[in-house]
Amino acid sequence: MKGKRNGAGRLLMALVFLFLYAPIFLLIIFSFNAGNSSAVWQGFSLDWYVKLFQDRLVMESVYTTLLVSILATAISTVAGVFAAIGLFGLKRRWRSPLMSVSNIPTVNADIVTGVSLCLLFAAVFQGWGAFARWFNSIQSAVALPTRLTLGFTTLLLAHIAFDIPYVILNVSPRLRQMDKNLIDAAQDLGCTWFQAFWRVILPEIKPGVVSGALIAFTMSVDDFVISYFTAGSATSTLSMTIYGMTKKRVSPEINAVSTLLFGVVLVLLILSNVLELRQEKLAQRKSALQNPAEYRPVRSHSAAPKVTKAPWFRRAVAVVSVFALVGSVWALASVAGSQPVVNVCSWGEYIDTDLITQFEEETGIRVNYQTAESNEVLYSLLKSGGGDYDVIVPSDYMISQLIEEDMLAPLDYSKIPNFSLIDDQFKNLPYDPDNRYTVPYAWGTLGIIYNTTMVDGPIDSWSAMFDPANAGQVLLINNSRDALGIALMYLGYSVNTTDGGELQEAYQLLADAAAQGVYQGKVMDEVYQTMEGGNAAIATYYAGDYLTMLENNEDLAFVVPKEGSNWFVDAMCMLKNARHPEEAHAWINFMASTDSCLANLDYIWYGTANREAIEAYPAYYEELYGEELDQETFDIIQTPPEVLERCEMYLVLPKETRDLYKKLWISLGV
C-alpha cells in the first residue's frame, strides 16, 4: 500500500514511540543511579553493573531465561517445521481440526495454559511417585526417585508447547505457496525424501522458518505467566525474579541487566538493518545492470523479499548457535559442579544475606534461598508441587496446620546443638507442644506503622485502619489471617475465634472500610517502598520491618494498639519430603547459633529466641555503631512483657473456619 505521507501520521507515530519508550528510558537512566531508588536521582554511578555480575540470583535467572529460550526455540523450530509439513501432507478433513487443536496455546489465555500444565505435571508426578514406590518395592536393583518436582524440565516442556504453534503458523503459509510439483520433480530426478527436503522444501520455506523461530524466541524470553506456573521454586527465569522483586524493591541491578540486553538487541537490529540496506543497493545495481529499463528504487517490502530475508537467516542461525554453545557449556559446567545444596524458603527482607555466604564458605553447602509472601502463599506453593524446599520458616499457626497435615519431618536435635541456646520461654509452644519439629527463628508483634507527618497526632487504636477520615491513605495487609485478625481485635474478639458470626462481623468492618475507599491497596512486601516513599500514611505490618523502614524514612512511627495485637513466632522446620535432610539440619543449626542470631538481629530487627544473642545485643550494637542502643528501639525488637500481655498468638483453626476465612477473604477482594 502506497500513498501520501502526512505530517499528522508522523506526529502520531512520534507520540506513540514516546509513550512506548519513556518508561524504558527511565529504566535505563536509573540503572546509573547511585542510590537504590527508582524515582529519586542520587548521582551517577556504575555500581549496579558491578553488583549485577556478583549477584548469583540475577545472573542465574538470566542464564535460565536464555537457556530455556534457546533450547525451546531450537527444539520447537525443528519440531514445528516437521509438524507443519506433516499437517500439510494430510487431507483437509484431518488437517483443519488438527490445526485448530494446534492453535489452542496461541488463542488461550496464558494463565489457562500455565495453570492447566501445572495441574498436568502435578498429576504426572503423583502417578510417577506411586509407580516408583511400587517398582522399588518389587525389586532392589534399581532405585527410582519417588519424588519429582517442577523445575527446568517442566519449564522447557511448557515453553516448547507454546512455541511450536507459532512456528507452524509461520511455516504453513509458505508451504501452501510452494509449487508442489517441485518435490515430485526432485524425487523423480533421484532425490530421497530428505534430500528433497533439504534442497527444495527448506529453501522455499526459509523466511517462514526464520520468522517463526524469531517469534518463538521473543515469546519465550518475554514469557512470565506460563513460566510462573510451571518452573517451580528452584528454577527462576528473569521474569520470575523480577516479579518477586516488584513485591518489595526492584534492585537497580535489574535495570542494569535490562539495559545490557536492550543494548545488545539494539546493536543487532542496527547491524542487520545496515547490512540489509547494503545488500538491497547491491541487488538494485545488479538488476539495473542486467535490465536497465526496469530500474527503480525499491519502495515496498515485497519488492525484494528473497534478498532481504536470506541474510537474516544466516545471521539468526549464527546468533542462535553461539548462544546455544554458551548455554550448553554452562549447563555442563553446572552439572559437573554438583555440590551439596539446601533449599530454603523464608520471607522477604528476613535474613542478613552475608550469613548465606558465610554458611556456604564454612560448609561447602550451596544455599538456594527463596522467599514466599505469606504463610498462605507458602502453603499453596507446597500443595501445588511448586515448592521444592528442605527448610521453611512458617509462623506458629501454619506450623500447626502443617503438622496436622503430616507435611513436616521431626528434627534430629542431636544434630542441632545450638537448640540448647533457645530460651525456655520459646520451647514447647502451643504450635509444637512436644517441640519435635521446630527451632524458633525470630519473633515479633503485629502493629500499626504510620507516617507522623501525614496523620494528626499519635495513633493508638486499630480504629485508624477503618476510619473513613484516612481514606486512600491506608495499606491493608495482604493475608487473610492478619487482615481479619486486626478487625477481630478491634471488635474485642479473640483472634482465634471460630464463631462464624464474629468473623462475619469482622469481615463486614473491613468490607465497609474498603467500600468507603479507606484502603489504597492490599500489600505485603510492597509496604517497604510505599511507606518509605511517603506514598501512604498508615499500614499494618510487623515490628521488625518497621525498624528497617525507619532507616529510610525517619518520619515513621510504630505502635502496638491498645486493643491488643498478635505476637508470633516464626520457626525453622524441615519438610517431610525434604531431599537434603543432612544439609537442612546443618542450616538450622547454623542459623540458631549466637553469632548468626546477632548478625541477623542487627539486620532484620526482629526479636530472637536465642538467649545469649539477645543479652549480648546492646553491647554488640554499641561496638558496631559507636553509640548506645536506645531503649525505644530495643523495645520494638524485644517486645516488653507489659505489651506482650495484651497480645495473643494465632492458633491453628479448624478446617471449617479456615474455609470461612478463605471465602471471606476472596469476597473482600472482589
Partner 1 sequence: MRNKSSRFAIPYVIWMALLVVAPIVLMVVYAFTSESGSFTLDSFASMGDYLSVFTRSFELALIATLICLLIGYPVAYAMAKEGPRFQRLSMALIMLPMWINFLLRTYAWMSILENNGLLNQFFRAIGLLRLLGVDHLSLIRTQGAVVLGMVYNYLPFMILPIYSVLVKLDGSLMEAARDLGANSLAVFRKVVFPLSLPGVLSGVTMVFVPSVSTFAISRLLGGGTQMMLGDLIEQQFLGGSYDPHLGAAISMVMMVIVVVCMALMTHFGEGEEQAVVL
Q: 607: which DSSP letter?
A: B
d(CA 516, CA 466): 9
Residue 241 vs 418, nearer CB to partner 1: 241
d(CA 171, CA 178): 11
18 binds partner 1 (CB under 8 A): no
What is the closest distance, in whole angstroms, from the C-beta atom of residue 479 to partner 1 in the complex? 6
Binding-site member from 281, 306, 562, 662 for partner 1 (CB under 8 A): 662
Phi first, then psi, for residue 344 (nearest 5°) are -115, 135
521 binds partner 1 (CB under 8 A): yes
* Site for partner 1, residues 539 to 578, rule: CB under 8 A: none
Per-residue contact track with partner 1, 31 to 50, x per CB under 8 A?
A: -------xx-----------
Phi first, then psi, for residue 472 (nearest 5°) are 80, 0
Phi first, then psi, for residue 67 (nearest 5°) are -65, -45
What is the closest distance, in whole angstroms, from the C-beta atom of residue 147 to partner 1 in the complex? 19
Using the rule CB under 8 A, give the single segment among 398-406, 418-426, 487-495, 519-527 that binds partner 1. Answer: 519-527
- What are the cell numbers at 251? 534492585
Using the rule CB under 8 A, give the single segment among 565-573, 622-630, 631-639, 662-670 that binds partner 1. Answer: 662-670
* Site for partner 1, residues 605 to 634, rule: CB under 8 A: none
265 binds partner 1 (CB under 8 A): yes
What is the closest distance, in whole angstroms, from the C-beta atom of residue 20 to partner 1 in the complex? 5
* Site for partner 1, residues 139 to 198, rule: CB under 8 A: 157, 161, 164, 166, 169-170, 172-173, 180, 183-184, 187, 193, 196
9 binds partner 1 (CB under 8 A): yes
3 binds partner 1 (CB under 8 A): yes
Residue 187 vs 463, nearer CB to partner 1: 187
Using the rule CB under 8 A, give the single segment among 9-17, 403-411, 442-450, 605-613 that binds partner 1. Answer: 9-17
Residue 229 vs 431, nearer CB to partner 1: 229
Residue 12 vs 332, nearer CB to partner 1: 12
404 binds partner 1 (CB under 8 A): no
d(CA 643, CA 563): 11
Binding-site member from 125, 152, 243, 603 for partner 1 (CB under 8 A): 243
Instruction: Check if the beta carbon of residue 114 is closer than 8 Å to that of residue 158.
Output: yes
Using the rule CB under 8 A, give the single segment among 234-242, 284-292, 362-370, 592-600 that binds partner 1. Answer: 234-242
d(CA 220, CA 75): 12
Instruction: Name which of 534, 524, 531, 489 is nearest 510 in CA terms.
Output: 489
Q: How many residues touch partner 1 (CB under 8 A)?
A: 130
Per-residue contact track with partner 1, 104 to 133, x per CB under 8 A?
A: xxxxxxxxxx-xxxxxx--x----------
401 binds partner 1 (CB under 8 A): no
Report helix, strand or coil for 42. Answer: coil
Beta bridge partners of 540: 448
What is the closest distance, in whole angstroms, from the C-beta atom of residue 165 to partner 1 in the complex? 8
Instruction: Name which of 382, 357, 76 is nearest 220 in CA terms.
Output: 76
Beta bridge partners of 565: 647
646 binds partner 1 (CB under 8 A): no
Using the rule CB under 8 A, give the single segment among 421-429, 473-481, 485-493, 503-511 that binds partner 1. Answer: 473-481
221 binds partner 1 (CB under 8 A): yes
* Site for partner 1, residues 291 to 350, rule: CB under 8 A: 298-303
Using the rule CB under 8 A, give the single segment among 441-449, 517-525, 551-559, 594-602 that binds partner 1. Answer: 517-525
Between CA 343 and CA 353, with CA 348 as vertex, the angle to 5 degrees is: 65
Using the rule CB under 8 A, give the single segment among 22-30, 325-333, 564-572, 639-647 that binds partner 1. Answer: 22-30
Residue 224 vs 603, nearer CB to partner 1: 224
What is the closest distance, in whole angstroms, from the C-beta atom of residue 239 to partner 1 in the complex? 6
Report helix, strand or coil for 409. Answer: strand
Instruction: Check if the beta carbon of residue 561 is closer than 8 Å to that of residue 448.
Output: yes
- What are the cell numbers at 307? 534478498
Using the rule CB under 8 A, give the single segment among 45-53, 213-221, 357-365, 391-399 that binds partner 1. Answer: 213-221
Residue reference for cell 541491578:
253
| Amino acid identity, position 633 | T
Residue 67 vs 411, nearer CB to partner 1: 67
Residue 433 vs 517, nearer CB to partner 1: 517
Instruction: Name which of 379, 629, 617 is nearest 480 in CA terms.
Output: 379
Sign of CA dihedral 348, 350, 351, 356: negative
Instruction: Check if the beta carbon of residue 538 is closer than 8 Å to that of residue 448.
Output: yes
What is the closest distance, in whole angstroms, from the C-beta atom of residue 567 to partner 1 in the complex? 22
Residue 273 vs 321, nearer CB to partner 1: 273
242 binds partner 1 (CB under 8 A): yes
Residue reference for cell 538481629:
601
Using the rule CB under 8 A, give the single segment among 84-92, 314-322, 403-411, 499-507 that binds partner 1. Answer: 84-92
What is the closest distance, in whole angstroms, from the C-beta atom of residue 122 to partner 1 in the complex? 8
Beta bridge partners of 555: none
What is the closest distance, in whole angstroms, from the C-beta atom of residue 391 to partner 1 in the complex? 20
d(CA 322, CA 545): 46
429 binds partner 1 (CB under 8 A): no
Composition of the chain by helix, strand, coil, percent to 5: 65, 10, 25
Residue 536 vs 572, nearer CB to partner 1: 536
534 binds partner 1 (CB under 8 A): yes
10 binds partner 1 (CB under 8 A): yes
* Site for partner 1, residues 381 to 400, rule: CB under 8 A: 381, 383-384, 386
Residue reference for cell 530495643:
634
Phi first, then psi, for residue 339 (nearest 5°) are -125, 165
Instruction: Check if the beta carbon of residue 444 is closer than 8 Å to that of residue 544.
Output: yes
With helix as H, strand as E and coil as C, how does 352-418 read? CHHHHHHHHHHHCCEEEEEEECCHHHHHHHHHCCCCCCCEECCEHHHHHHHHHCCCEECCCHHHCHH
Instruction: Check if the beta carbon of residue 394 is closer than 8 Å to that of residue 571.
Output: yes
d(CA 257, CA 58): 9
Residue reference for cell 553461539:
322
Report helix, strand or coil for 150. Answer: coil
What is the closest distance, in whole angstroms, from the C-beta atom of residue 514 to partner 1 in the complex? 8
CA-based Rg of the chain, rounded to a whole angstrom?
30
What is the closest distance, in whole angstroms, from the C-beta atom of residue 110 to partner 1 in the complex? 7
| Amino acid identity, position 270 | I
Binding-site member from 50, 53, 89, 460 for partner 1 (CB under 8 A): 89
d(CA 521, CA 539): 10
Residue 225 vs 644, nearer CB to partner 1: 225
Residue 81 vs 614, nearer CB to partner 1: 81
What is the closest distance, in whole angstroms, from the C-beta atom of residue 534 to partner 1 in the complex? 5
Chain centre distance of CA 446: 26
92 binds partner 1 (CB under 8 A): no
Distances (CA, A) of 417 to 394, 564, 608: 22, 36, 17
d(CA 407, CA 597): 27
